């Protein structure tokens, strides 16, 4: 009898726990959609974005999707590098803070522009709307954060004025802290 009671209690508890973990209720008239390639998110090592393009022409849809994704990725990296540069310069208390920040940001733009062309596609899906014949191209792209830091260091090392005040390990540490916030 006691074993049956424990069995029934265990079944009841598992049903209650299963119902707690079920999908949240959406308001009436709303349906949750899953966007292809949207499962790819940035993490502490990699910048990732997803986007889509739409057109009556397959190639145009793909070009729009890739262009949108690259623009979003560049913006994400640019804002991250700005925060990293601000935090790095503030933490090292360089005498010519404004000049160094301008040079950091200038180098960041150059590196980002060069690296964006080297993105890796991690997901792409082409769909066609049957009612209109329009194509939708979904894409997710990524860039390795470590490569960006190394390219950034190479660009900075060409500038003697900045290198006097620059510590690669400190900069990398600041960058990694900011990448933790990407999650």
**113 falls within a domain:** yes
**Phi/psi at 155 (nearest 5 deg)?**
-65, -40
Q: Residues 107-144, buried b or exposed e (16+ Cβ, 10 A)?
A: bbbebbeebbeebeeebbeeeeeeeeeebbbbbbbbbe
**8 falls within a domain:** no
What pLDDT, in 10s, does the model give residues 13-65?
Answer: 554 544 444 456 888 888 888 889 999 998 888 889 999 999 999 999 999 99
**51 falls within a domain:** yes
Number of domains in the chain: 1
Separation of alpha carbons 147 and 91, rounded Å:
23
Residue 107 pLDDT class (50, 70, 90 cuts): low
**14 falls within a domain:** no
What pLDDT, in 10s, does the model give residues 161-181?
Answer: 555 456 667 777 777 887 887
- Residue 119: domain span: 35-180
**126 falls within a domain:** yes
Element (DSSP H or E) covering residue 135: strand 135-144
Q: Tell me the average pLDDT of the chain.
A: 76
State mean pLDDT over 70-93: 76
**149 falls within a domain:** yes
State mean pLDDT over 101-108: 67
Element (DSSP H or E) covering residue 77: helix 58-92
Element (DSSP H or E) covering residue 61: helix 58-92
Burial of residue 103 (number of CB atoms within 10 Å: 0-12, 13-18, 19+): buried
């Amino acid at each position: 009898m006691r074993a049956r009671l424990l069995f029934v209690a265990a079944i009841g508890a598992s049903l209650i726990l299963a119902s707690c973990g079920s999908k949240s209720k959406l308001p009436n008239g709303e349906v949750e959609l899953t966007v292809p390639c949207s499962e790819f998110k940035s993490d502490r090592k990699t910048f990732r974005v997803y986007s889509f393009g739409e057109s009556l022409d397959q190639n145009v849809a793909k070009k729009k999707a890739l262009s949108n994704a690259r623009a979003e990725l560049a913006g994400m990296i640019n804002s991250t590098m700005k925060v990293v540069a601000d935090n790095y310069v503030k933490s090292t208390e360089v005498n010519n803070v404004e000049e160094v920040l301008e040079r950091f940001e200038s180098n960041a733009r150059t590196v980002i522009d060069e690296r964006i062309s080297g993105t890796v596609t991690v997901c792409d899906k082409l769909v066609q709307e049957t009612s209109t014949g329009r194509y939708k191209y979904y894409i997710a792209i990524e860039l390795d954060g470590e490569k960006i830091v190394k390219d950034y260091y190479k660009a900075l090392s060409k500038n003697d004025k900045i290198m006097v005040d620059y510590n690669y390990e400190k900069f990398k540490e600041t960058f990694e802290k900011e990448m933790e916030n990407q999650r």
